[in-house]
Amino acid sequence: TKLRRLQGGKQAKVYVMRGVIRSSTYHERVAEHDVAGYFDKPVDVDALIAALKGQLGASYPSDTPAVTRTPARPLSAMTDVKGSITDVPFARLYGRIFQTRSTGALMLRRDSVKKIIFFQEGVPVFVKSNLIEECLGRVMVRERLITQRECDDSLLEKRRQPDLRQGEILMQMGSISRSNRDFALELQMQTKFFEPFAWPDGRYQLNETVHYDG
């Protein structure tokens, strides 16, 4: 938005890259800013170069240095598929998974807290957590999207309709819109994913045989 306000900004060709967390609505929101292209990480370098050549034409530099690509490797190719977060902090562990573009599940445990982060080609796509503070209703209350009373009522209704997700129940109640739900789901995933960055200790295990099936 700030770029578009600058002199000549409306004519600028903008490409967007998204790396850490993706949602079903992110592409739609990016499109509202009239971007020339969108790339998920890990970026297809050939596609990116082709897009830039298409925009720049003859002005694209012909002496562009060659790009060194890191071949994809399964989780088992990593030397430490399980261990201590004290020895390998979560930030470093995630960096290795992203660098190797691995697909599988990262299981984390610290005291009574348990998390499973599912990766597809190095990108986190879903996170399971047993922290009550990270449930969707609690996240929405903190963001003031719903009241605590609405959160409590939705949990009571979920007991009567266990097959429905809390977000769907809140929509049925008229407490939130679909866009509110999608926003909250993305925020919830970010909350679950970023929390282990602060862990001083804990255990981890990578499992390439467990995939997220949606």
Is it the case that residue 74 has pLDDT exceeding 60?
Answer: no
pLDDT digits (tens, 9 = 90+) for 186-200: 999 999 999 999 999
Rounded to whole angstroms, the Cα distance separating 40 from 128 reads 22
Rounded to whole angstroms, the Cα distance separating 184 from 138 reads 10
**In this predicted model, which residue has the larger pLDDT, 139 or 74?**
139
**Which pair of tokens denotes residue 50?**
């082709």
Q: What is the dihedral of CA 28, 183, 100, 63, to 10 degrees?
A: 40
Is it the case that residue 75 has pLDDT exceeding 50?
Answer: no
Q: Reply yes or no: is the peptide bond before residue 42 cis, omega within 30 of 0.
A: yes
pLDDT digits (tens, 9 = 90+) for 162-183: 999 999 999 999 999 999 999 9
Is it the case that residue 72 has pLDDT exceeding 50?
Answer: no
pLDDT-based confidence at residue 16 (cuts at 50, 70, 90) = confident
Return the pLDDT at 43: 65
Return the pLDDT at 24: 54
Q: What percent of the chain is predicted at pLDDT more than 90?
A: 54
Q: Which residues touch 112 (CB under 8 Å, ≥6 apart)?
A: 130
Q: Which residues touch 30 (CB under 8 Å, ≥6 apart)?
A: 16, 18, 38
